[in-house]
Copies of this chain bind each other. A is one copy, B any other.
Amino acid sequence: MARVVVDVMLKPEILDPQGKAVHGALDRIGLPGVVDVRQGKRFEIEIEGEVDDARIAEVAESLLSNPVIEDYTVRVDD
């Protein structure tokens, strides 16, 4: 059984209102030194049998992210 982790984050040039809201909250509760906060999505996919890396990348690009505004990274933990 392999666990595939796909992290999807907004591209750096895209405004991130959720991250901004968290940044404001961190400032208010007094966490020092925070320069930037970005919020994204994390998918954990449990796969039985062989993991087809190319197919996973295809799925991450077409179904799990919006490539116009988001970047993704794929990591396979066996």
Contact = CB atoms under 8 A, between A and B. Distances in A.
A41 B37 CA distance: 13
A31 B64 CA distance: 13
Given A42-B40, A42-B42, A64-B22, A33 B49 contact: yes
Nearest to A50: B33
B39 A42 contact: yes
Contact of A9 (B7, B44, B62): B44
Interface string A30-60: 0111111111111111111111000110010
Interface of A: 1, 7, 9, 19, 22, 25-26, 29, 31-51, 55-56, 59, 62-64
